Amino acid sequence: MKPDRETVAEPAGEAPAQQAFASYAAPLVDEAIELANGIRHDASPEALHKLRVSLRRLRSLWWAFAPLLDKGENARQRAVYKFLATAAGKTRDWDILIELLSREGSGAQAFMPKLEQARSDTLATSRETLLNADVKHLLRDALATTSAQLHVMHQSDIALRKFAARRIDASERSLKKRIERARRAKRSHYDAFHDVRKAGKKLRYLFEFFGPVLRGGHKRTLKRLKKIQKRFGMLNDTVASEGLLRENAAALASAGDIEAALQWLDKKRKRRLRAASGLLG
């Protein structure tokens, strides 16, 4: 029987981290499988977004437990989650572009039907990829393999609370390093800002996983992480949409004024970049 995500008991802080892994992983695996199955009947932007987020959370959880796992096997499992999230994300990227360009002033109304067709074609490919990947088998196998590995690894047990604190510290250091790098980078160097977004998202997921077993409050940190995720996420949406439109400009050129839409996205990207930069201090 599938565990109820709302009633699964939280692991105790003094329990061994190795034993606590399944308590975190099993509900996430169940959720991802359920969402992947749902794509057969519901291919809305929200459904695809939920699936991609679920897979990203799984990837972050496997990162959190990496010190207790074989490096090669852990990297392989995380690559699987990235592959599946990318498959779900390709359609989501078109959804974001369509949503942005549907706003007044973008000048994209003339080629909106072609964007919708491109979205439909990409969805068909995404569905085929996810169905052929056998998500249920992949995720169940990953859970079983990692759980077994944690059971047999010859290393001293470490209390979950201590382990969680170490991993959050490591994630916080990574985020601070990327913030410093973004502060020094020119605004045209988007990769530095994108790295801040990814590091902030990972840290937020770790707080969601381990928050109940940690000592002390983390409301201020979580509040800042949510701001970073929102503003940097909006920036990423614009950058990705601009790139997607440029990649497909030739196919869309006969349907409308591509250049006007690109100029509109360029202005929006610059505004969102200034807003995101303001959070770096």
Long-range contacts of 15-20 (CB under 8 A, 24+ apart): 15/159, 15/160, 16/157, 16/158, 16/159, 16/160, 17/65, 17/68, 17/157, 17/158, 17/159, 17/160, 17/162, 17/163, 17/164, 18/68, 18/150, 18/151, 18/153, 18/157, 18/158, 19/150, 19/157, 20/160
Model pLDDT, residue 8: 46
The confidence score (pLDDT) of residue 152 equals: 79
For residue 249, what pLDDT is reported? 86
Number of domains in the chain: 1
What local confidence, expressed as pLDDT, does residue 242 receive? 94
Residue ranges making up the domain that contains 94: 17-280
Asked if residue 150 belongs to a domain, the reply is yes
User: What does the pLDDT read at residue 29?
Assistant: 96
Write out residues in the chain with pLDDT < 50, as ranges.
1-8
The Cα–Cα gap between 211 and 169 comes to 13
pLDDT (0 to 100) of residue 5: 43
Cα first-last separation, the chain: 49
Flag whether 92 is in a domain: yes
The 3-state DSSP class for residue 37 equals helix
Report whether 185 contacts 193 (CB < 8 A): yes
- Rounded to two decimals, the pTM is 0.86
Q: Is residue 70 part of a domain?
A: yes
- Beta strand segments in 81-201, E: none
CA pair distance 138, 80, nearest whole angstrom = 8
- Is residue 229 in some structural domain? yes
pLDDT score of 181: 92
Please tell me the distance from the alpha carbon of residue 212 to that of residue 58, in angstroms, as a whole number: 18
205 located within any domain? yes
Q: Residue 35's domain is classified under what CATH number?
A: 1.40.20.10
Q: Is residue 6 part of a domain?
A: no
Decide if 86 is inside a domain. Answer: yes
User: Is 62 part of any domain?
Assistant: yes
| Total residues found in the chain within this entry | 281
Quick one: 211 exposed, middle or buried, by C-beta within 10 A (0-12, 13-18, 19+)? middle
